[in-house]
């Protein structure tokens, strides 16, 4: 008889988001690190390299474990499609650690518990998508509100320091100080200093 292999799947939305909590939860469940697949990108679709590698590794009777349902994705329809593909087509089980009802090993045979499991899956995947849509809507409303009040969105524009002209002349025209000294006197970082210098030179040419 083939031994059940347990796979763990993790998704974080970007490289800036830490996957440590999910890794710890999967390891605590007993999953080997070599069997944990990690994608660091959006969950809005399933064109993710590690997720595709996971699907290719699954065999009949295996178990796929995720910390929460939204790690599979945030699209209501696709989450359900992928769930049923893994369970029905690949013949594997799925367990969601933070929602014990979502465990096909327990709920697979009894028609009543299977109905509850399917219902919970539909509700949670719907809620996950709605939250994603609400976040986008709130972000758009916040940007629109800020723009209406005349606020600049994004990084603030670099401004010339009060001693800019004096320091610029010493550095650029008189060659009396180095660029490094000019940066120190103006309190500007290298990129900002040269950006302002280029802008200042362009303004003088007009």
pTM: 0.57
**Burial degree of 73 (CB within 10 A; 0-12, 13-18, 19+):** buried
Residue 175 gets the label, from left (phi > 0), alpha (psi -120 to 50) or beta, of left
Q: Which tokens hold the place of 59?
A: 């065999």
Distances in Å between the alpha carbon of 156 and those of 145, 149, 150, 190, 197?
Answer: 17, 16, 13, 17, 17
The domain over range 6-132 is classified in CATH as 3.40.50.1390: yes
Give the catalytic positions in this structure. Answer: 13
Report the pLDDT averaged over residues 78-107: 85
Distance, in Å, from the CA atom of 40 to the CA atom of 10, rounded to the nearest integer, reads 8
Ordered by start, the domain boundaries in the chain are: 6-132, 164-205
Quick: pLDDT tens for 110-163.
555 566 667 777 776 676 667 667 777 777 777 776 677 766 555 666 788 889
Q: Which tokens hold the place of 144?
A: 């629109």
Residues 79 and 48: beta-carbon distance below 8 Å? no
DSSP label of 7: E
């Amino acid at each position: 008889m083939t031994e059940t292999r347990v796979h763990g799947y993790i998704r974080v939305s970007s490289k800036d988001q830490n996957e440590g909590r999910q890794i710890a939860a999967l390891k605590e469940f007993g999953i080997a690190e070599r069997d944990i697949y990690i994608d660091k990108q959006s969950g809005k679709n399933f064109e993710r390299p590690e997720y595709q590698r996971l699907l290719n590794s699954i065999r009949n009777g295996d178990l796929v474990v995720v910390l929460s349902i939204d790690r599979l994705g945030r699209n209501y329809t696709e989450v359900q499609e992928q769930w049923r593909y893994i369970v029905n087509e690949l013949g594997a089980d799925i367990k969601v650690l933070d929602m014990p009802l979502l465990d096909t090993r327990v709920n697979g045979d009894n028609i009543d518990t299977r109905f509850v499991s399917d219902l919970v899956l539909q509700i949670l995947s719907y809620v996950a998508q709605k939250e994603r849509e609400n976040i986008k809507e709130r972000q758009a409303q916040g940007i629109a509100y800020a723009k209406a009040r005349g606020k600049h969105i994004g990084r603030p524009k670099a401004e010339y320091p009060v001693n800019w002209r004096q320091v610029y002349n010493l550095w650029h025209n008189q060659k009396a100080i180095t660029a490094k000294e000019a940066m120190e006197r103006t309190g500007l970082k290298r990129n900002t200093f040269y950006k302002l210098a280029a802008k200042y030179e362009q303004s003088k040419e007009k």
